[in-house]
Chain A
Amino acid sequence: MSSRRSGRPADRTLEFLDVTDLADPLLVVKDLHTSFRTGRGTVHAVDGVSLTVGRGKTLGVVGESGSGKTVLARSIMGLLPTRDVIRSGTVQFAGHEMTTMAPAQLRQVWGAQMSMIFQDPMTALNPVVRIGRQITDSLRLHLHMDRKEANATAVELLRSVGIPSPEERVRWYPFQLSGGMRQRVMIAIALACGPRLVLADEPTTGLDVSVQAQILDLLEAMQSERHMAVVLVTHDLGVVAKRADEIAVMYAGRIVERAPTRTLFAHTHMPYTRALMDSIPRLANPSGTRLQAIGGRPPDLIHPPKGCRFAPRCPYAQDKCRESDPPLRTAASSDHVFACWFPLVDRVSADGSATSSASAVDREAPSS
C-alpha cells in the first residue's frame, strides 16, 4: 500500500487477495466530499460522508431526490465527470485506496471488483448493441475469455437472472425487452465478473411495482449466492427495510442517521428518518388514507441553510437547530449514529417508540 502513495503507475496490476484481512470491512469511506462547479456556484452534492460496508453485507442508502445518493454512489466508484468536479476524502476498497488510483487502475476495479446497477434500464443499455455483447464486453476484458466462452457465460448469466430462452435473447437488442427484463439484463451485466461490491442506484425506481419486488429478490438471491456486498441506494425506505443489514439516511448531501436496520426502526433518533418512515404507504390503512408527505423542499445545495439542514422542514425544530449544525454523534449503541440536537427518543417515551417502530420493520415493504 505504501509504495502506491509515491506514484501512480498505470500498468500496475492490482492484487485482490481474499486471504488477508477478511474480517476487515470491504469498503471504508471517510469524510467524502463531492462538489460540482456550476454557473450558479458550487453544489456540495456529497458533504462529508463516512460509512463502512462489510463483505457480503447490504447497506441501504435512503434519501429524497437530490439528497446526494446517486452522487455518493458514483463518488465511491470514482465514476464522475472529469471536469468541474471536486472530490476529497478517502475510499478504501478491499485494502486499496480508490481516490488516488490512475484511470487505468480504476478500470481494473470497475466491472471486475466493483460494479454499478443503474436506475433507468431504458437509458443505461446501449440501444444499438446486442445485450449479449453488453455482457461479454467485461467478461472478455476482465476475465480474458474468448468469444465462445464469453457467449456461453452470457447465456448462463441471463438464465440465472431469470430471462427465459436466454440462448435466443442473447442476440436481442434492448428495445426488444420489457423494462423488468432490461433491469434483469443490467443485473447480469453488473454481476458478470463476480464483483465484491455492487452499487445499486435506485435499481427498481423505473419499474412497475409488481416487478420491483422480483428484481430486489433476484438481487438478494444473487448476493447471497456470490457473497457480494451491496450498497442499495433508494428513495424508498420500504425497499431497504427488510433487505439491508444497515441503513444510512441521507439528507442534503450528508448522512443524518446510520444504524443497523432493526436499531434504526426501533430507536429512530432523527426526525427526518421518522418522516421517511411515515411516508411509506401502509397496506393496513383504509383506502383513501392520505399519504404523509414531508412538507417543503430539500435545501439548495449551493447555499445550504445555516444550522441543521432539515430545520426548515422539521416539525420539532427549535432556535438551536436554526443556529448551529448538529454533529453526527453516537446513540446508545455504538453502531448507531445520528445528527440531531433533539433526537426523538428524548421526546417520545421509549415504550411507545419501540412498539410503533417494530411494526414498521415487520410491515412488509409496500413494494415487496
Chain B
Amino acid sequence: MLSYLLKRLAQLVVVAFIISVLVFLLVHLLPGDPTVSILGGNVTAANRQILLHELGLNTPLYHQYWIWLIHALHGNLGQSYLTHETVGHVIATGFPIDVELIIISQVVAFAVAIPVALITSRRPNRPLDNIATTGTFGLLALPPFLIAPILVAIFAVGLHWFPATGYVPFSQNPASNLHDMILPGLALTAGSIAVYYRLLRSDLIMTLQEDFITMARSKGLSNRRIMMRQAFRPSTFSLLAVAGVNIGALLAGTFIVEYLFAMDGLGYSIVQAVQQRDYLLVQGIALVVAIAYVVLQFIIDFLFTVVDPRVTRE
C-alpha cells in the first residue's frame, strides 16, 4: 500500500511538471503580452520594453520557466500583473468555488441518474424508460449557458427563491453560501445526469441478462433486492470511469457558469488571465488544476478496487 502511494505521488509530480511546461509554452506562444493589458493600447515601444524588462519577460523562455519553477517549489506562485493579488490568494478563494460547484452538480447528477436507471432498466423500452431516455436526450442538448439563464429567470427573477448572481463565501456563512451555489450547481448538472443515466441504464440492462441474476432470482430474492444488491455494483464500472473523465473536465471547466453567476472561481479566473496574458496567474491555476486532476483519477482508481474485488492495486 505504501509503495503504491509513493508510486502514485511520483506520478503526480511528473504530471504536474509536464503540465506546467506545456502551459508555460502555450501561454507564451499566444500572440501579445501583458504590457497591452497593463498599459493600455497607446503606448510607446520604449515604455513597453521597460515594462517587459521589469517583469523579466525579455529573457529567454527557459530562463523564465526556471525562475518560475524555483519560486513555485518554494511555494511562491507570484502575483497578478494587473491586480497585484498573489496567485496563491486567487487560488485560495477560487478553488473552493469550483470544488463546491462540482460537488453540488455531481451529487445531484448521481442522485437523479442512479434511481431513475435502477427503475427504468428493469423494463427497457417500456413507456417509463422511453420517457426517461428521451428526457435525458433533451438534457444532453441543453448546454449550461442555456440552462443557467432559464434557471435564473424561473427561480431567481420569477420566484425569488435564489439570488440571480453573486455568492457569500463559505467561510462567512455556510448556509447562505450553499443557498447561493444551488442554481449554478444545477446549471452544471444536466449533462452529467444525461450521461450517467444512459450509461448506467445500458450497463444494468446488460447485467440483468447475466446468469447470476437468474441465479439470484432462483433464490427467491425480491426484484428490489436483486437490483440493489446484485445488479447495481457490477454495472457501475464504466459509470465510474466516465464520471472520472467528466468531473475532470469540470475542473476549471465551469467558467461559463461562473461568469454568468459572477463568481470568481478558478475557471473564470483562468479564462480572464489568458485573455490578459497574465502569465503567472495562468501558470499557477493550471498547476493546481493539473494536480487536482491527478488526485481525482487517483480517487477513481481507488474506487475501482472498492467496487470490483477483481481489480487489485498490484
Contacts and interface: CB of A to CB of B under 8 A. Distances in A.
B308 A142 contact: no
Contacts of A120: 211
B313 interface: no
Contacts of A77: 218
Interface string A103-146: 00011111110011010100111111100000001100110000
B210 A138 contact: no
Interface in B213-261: 214-222, 229-230, 233-234
* Size band of the interface chain B makes with A: 20 to 34
Given A110-B217, A110-B218, A111-B218, A123 B308 contact: no
Contact of A126 (B212, B217, B220, B222): B212
A342 interface: no
Contacts of B219: 110-111, 115, 137-138, 141, 189
A107 B222 contact: yes
B218 A115 contact: yes
A175 B309 contact: yes
B310 interface: yes
Of A112, A120, A138, most buried by chain B (CB within 10 Å of CB) is A138
A173 interface: yes
Interface residues of A, number: 28
B150 interface: no
Given A118-B214, A118-B215, A129 B221 contact: no
B36 interface: no
Contacts of B233: 128-129
B211 A108 contact: no
Nearest to A186: B215
19 contacts: A77-B218, A107-B220, A110-B217, A110-B219, A112-B220, A115-B219, A123-B210, A124-B212, A124-B215, A125-B212, A126-B212, A126-B230, A126-B234, A127-B234, A127-B308, A128-B308, A129-B233, A137-B216, A137-B221
- Give 7 closest A-B pairs by Cβ, nearest first: A111-B220, A111-B219, A110-B220, A123-B211, A107-B220, A124-B211, A126-B212
Interface of B: 210-212, 214-222, 229-230, 233-234, 307-310
Interface of A: 77, 79, 106-112, 115-116, 118, 120, 123-129, 137-138, 141-142, 173, 175, 186, 189
Given A116-B218, A126-B230, 11 more contacts: A123-B210, A124-B211, A124-B214, A126-B212, A126-B215, A128-B308, A128-B310, A137-B216, A138-B220, A175-B309, A186-B215
